[in-house]
């Protein structure tokens, strides 16, 4: 990701807070968060996507057995509960293998491994398993 100046981060945070107070518009949240995506923002955005059912699973011409959310071995609400109890210590991020401008987020908690990224306007899950 492009490093942001402290001033811009603060400005985006103010916009996020303002939007939160005004209307909680999901799309505006997502655009704002894509500008300033730390763990808190990624967590919020992925939880919003899960709760709205507005997400997709990455596929590589087959059904990946490592994505239990895709295969139905774990429910959306279970994944939400796991992510909710995570903090920055459970999170790492790295550039996507092929598209370096896309940040891949990995959450590891209690044996769970959850890997996802945001490709506006969608949230893509790569792996959800333990």
The residues that touch other proteins, with contacts defined as CB under 8 A, are 52-65, 69-73, 76, 96, 98-99, 102, 119, 122, 124
What order do you get walking across the sheet with 112-119 strand by strand? Answer: 91-95, 103-109, 112-119, 122-129
CB of 75 to other proteins, least distance (A): 9
What DSSP character marks residue 90? Answer: G
CB of 84 to other proteins, least distance (A): 19
Residue closer to other proteins by CB (options 8, 52) is 52
CB of 121 to other proteins, least distance (A): 8
Nearest to 24 by CA among 53, 44, 54, 1: 44
């Amino acid at each position: 990701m492009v490093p942001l100046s402290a001033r811009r981060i603060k400005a985006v945070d103010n916009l996020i807070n303002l939007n939160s107070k005004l209307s909680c518009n999901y799309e505006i949240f997502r655009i704002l968060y894509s500008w300033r995506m730390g763990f808190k923002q990624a967590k919020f955005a992925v939880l919003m996507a899960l709760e709205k059912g507005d997400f997709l699973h990455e596929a590589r011409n087959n059904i990946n057995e490592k994505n239990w959310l895709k295969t139905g071995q774990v429910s959306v609400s279970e994944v939400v509960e796991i992510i909710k109890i995570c903090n920055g210590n459970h999170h790492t991020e790295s550039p996507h293998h092929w598209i370096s401008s896309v940040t891949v987020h990995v959450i590891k908690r209690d044996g769970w491994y959850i890997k996802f990224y945001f490709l506006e306007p969608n949230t893509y899950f790569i792996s959800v398993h333990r």
